[in-house]
């Protein structure tokens, strides 16, 4: 039996971050992974979808060249080429990450692990014991009762990132971040796309104003939206699938992608048997990611925090530092940046207006329209930056819609997390012409001295 300071079950964003930071801090670390280090994010999540979105952007550029005086036409998509580009990016990152794990002296164990006691994980009959165990088994794509995923007509994002053809038509079931990103990709690739969402709006965790702008932009792009109506049933044939909605409407498409959320991977791997407290499969933890069992920690999509790679990284680092005795600050989950990388992008940090009011803040808001921003005009994008602030106090939230606004989040995140006020940000000079100027202009306007804005 091998003895470690830290045994980590699952080598995705959360698990490998704990491993890398733990090793850096001098801990003896074992990282157990049944598939490939990098997990969902690298192999079937963040990276492949963002590569597909980049191909989509280039397809739109070719299609719309004439708008910018460029003679170009889109002659079609070469999905082998798209996949080769995407897989090239993944492979490069995978190689780099594997090398990093090796170079830090982490013992990488390939195989399916099971928690067999409070300090031991077993893989293929071999036991790995640790003073500390980190559970980081991540999540899987859920479906609805009676809706069977066959991987051909009815797929999840796992299959969507590997598709080797452009479907003529797609129904995307679920208008959250993943559903909206795939809808955006397929529309750019030339598919007829319909999103079905049971809630009244797309990306319902975002500020309502962002959802409305995304819906408007999607409709303008010709993406069909069925909002506020629930899925009733699906019948598939050889060539297509017909979806019936609870309002009686039926839709037929070549492909149905189910994007109704992700559930924790926590069954049959010993968590229940060891008495770990869970809720609907999620492992419950305190603000330092400690489970109820001393010495067992949990991070990433397995715990009920935001399902984002950078949240997994932060939680993995937190755990490693806590174990090493650095006593790190708990994570402020409100201060985590969030992006939907569709066209247009939606990006935010901090509280929505509704949440700020619910928490009793005296709220003031300001929306700066990107129509007043030179670079936005050059890029031919529309959208806005909305600031939610405490009256005579710090910023509470920043909500953005438009091309490339995800890149503006770095500044928004500093503003929010450093509890800046509009009058602190207003004097900062932003380069002209950049989209970031809109961030400056929004704060100038909120501080009562608008430049390129009315008011």
Ligand X SMILES: Cc1cc2nc3c(=O)[nH]c(=O)nc-3n(C[C@H](O)[C@H](O)[C@H](O)COP(=O)(O)OP(=O)(O)OC[C@H]3O[C@@H](n4cnc5c(N)ncnc54)[C@H](O)[C@@H]3O)c2cc1C
Residues in touch with ligand X (CB under 6 A) = 9-15, 32-35, 39-41, 45-46, 49-50, 112-113, 136-139, 157, 178, 265, 269, 300-302, 307-310, 312, 341
- CB of 141 vs ligand X, minimal distance in Å: 6
CB nearer to ligand X: give 130 or 372.
Answer: 130
Pick the catalytic residue from 432, 443, 452, 454: 432
State how far the Cα of 412 lies from the Cα of 410, in Å rounded to an integer: 6
State how far the Cα of 308 lies from the Cα of 410, in Å rounded to an integer: 16
CB nearer to ligand X: give 48 or 372.
Answer: 48
Residue 432 among the catalytic residues: yes
- DSSP for 105-163 reads T-EEEES-EEEEETTEEEETTEEEEEEEEEE---EEE---TT----SSSEE-HHHHTT-
Tell me if residue 242 falls in helix, strand or coil. Answer: strand
- CB of 16 vs ligand X, minimal distance in Å: 7
Cβ atoms within 10 Å of 392's Cβ, excluding its own = 10
- CB of 37 vs ligand X, minimal distance in Å: 7
CA separation, residue 325 to residues 151, 238, 320, 321 (Å) = 46, 59, 9, 6
CB nearer to ligand X: give 30 or 217.
Answer: 30
- CB of 420 vs ligand X, minimal distance in Å: 24
- CB of 383 vs ligand X, minimal distance in Å: 19
Q: Is-contact 1 7, C-beta < 8 A?
A: no
CB nearer to ligand X: give 187 or 443.
Answer: 187
**DSSP classification of residue 25:** T
State how far the Cα of 11 lies from the Cα of 165, in Å rounded to an integer: 30
- CB of 279 vs ligand X, minimal distance in Å: 17
- DSSP for 46-62 reads HHHHHHHHHHHHHHHHH
Selection from 346, 355, 320, 455 nearest residue 409 by Cα: 346
Q: State how beta strands 192-197 and 224-227 pair.
A: parallel
Rg (CA), the chain: 23
Cβ atoms within 10 Å of 144's Cβ, excluding its own = 17
- CB of 49 vs ligand X, minimal distance in Å: 5
Q: Is-contact 447 440, C-beta < 8 A?
A: no
Q: Is-contact 443 382, C-beta < 8 A?
A: no
Q: Is-contact 362 388, C-beta < 8 A?
A: no
Q: Is-contact 113 2, C-beta < 8 A?
A: no
CB nearer to ligand X: give 49 or 184.
Answer: 49
CB nearer to ligand X: give 13 or 382.
Answer: 13
CB nearer to ligand X: give 181 or 441.
Answer: 181
Selection from 211, 202, 196, 206 nearest residue 144 by Cα: 196
Q: Is-contact 376 344, C-beta < 8 A?
A: no
CB nearer to ligand X: give 123 or 196.
Answer: 123
- CB of 454 vs ligand X, minimal distance in Å: 35
- By annotation, the residues acting in catalysis are 432
């Amino acid at each position: 039996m091998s003895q470690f300071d830290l045994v980590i079950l699952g080598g995705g964003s959360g698990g490998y971050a704990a491993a890398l930071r733990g090793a850096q801090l001098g801990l003896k670390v074992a990282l157990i992974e049944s598939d490939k280090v990098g997990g969902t994010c690298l192999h079937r999540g963040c990276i492949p979808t963002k590569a597909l979105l980049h191909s989509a952007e280039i397809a739109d550029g070719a299609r719309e060249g004439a708008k910018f005086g460029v003679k170009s036409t889109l002659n079609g998509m070469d999905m082998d080429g798209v996949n080769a580009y995407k897989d090239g990016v993944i492979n490069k990152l995978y190689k780099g990450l594997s090398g990093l794990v090796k170079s830090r002296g982490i013992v990488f164990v390939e195989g399916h692990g099971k928690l067999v006691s409070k300090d031991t994980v077993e893989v293929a009959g071999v036991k790995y014991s640790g003073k500390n165990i980190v559970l980081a088994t991540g999540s899987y794509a859920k479906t609805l009762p009676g809706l069977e995923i066959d991987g051909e007509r009815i797929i999840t994002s796992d299959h969507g990132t590997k598709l080797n053809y452009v479907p003529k038509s797609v129904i995307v079931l679920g208008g959250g971040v993943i559903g909206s990103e795939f809808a955006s990709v397929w529309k750019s690739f030339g598919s007829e796309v319909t999103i079905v969402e049971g809630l009244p709006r797309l990306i319902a965790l975002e500020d309502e104003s962002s959802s409305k702008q995304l819906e408007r932009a999607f409709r303008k792009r010709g993406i069909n939206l069925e909002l506020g109506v629930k899925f009733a049933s699906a019948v598939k044939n050889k060539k297509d699938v017909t979806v019936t909605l609870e309002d009686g409407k039926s839709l037929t498409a070549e492909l149905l992608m189910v994007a109704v959320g992700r559930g924790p991977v926590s069954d049959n791997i010993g968590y229940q048997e060891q008495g770990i407290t869970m809720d609907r499969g999620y492992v419950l933890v305190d603000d330092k990611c400690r489970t109820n069992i001393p010495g067992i920690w949990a991070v990433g999509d397995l715990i009920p925090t935001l399902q984002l790679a950078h949240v997994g990284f932060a939680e993995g680092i937190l755990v490693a530092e806590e174990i090493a005795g650095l006593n790190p600050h708990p994570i402020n989950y409100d201060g985590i940046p969030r992006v939907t990388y569709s066209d247009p992008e939606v990006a935010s940090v901090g509280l929505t207006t509704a949440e700020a009011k619910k928490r009793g803040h005296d709220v003031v808001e300001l929306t700066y329209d990107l129509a007043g921003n030179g670079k936005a005009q050059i890029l031919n994008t529309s959208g806005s930056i909305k600031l939610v602030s405490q009256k005579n106090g710090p910023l509470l939230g920043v909500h953005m819609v438009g091309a490339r606004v995800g890149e503006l989040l770095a500044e928004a995140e500093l503003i929010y997390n450093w509890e800046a006020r509009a009058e602190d940000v207003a004097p900062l000079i932003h380069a002209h012409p950049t989209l970031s100027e809109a961030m400056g202009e929004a704060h100038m306007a909120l501080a009562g001295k608008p430049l390129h804005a009315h008011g």
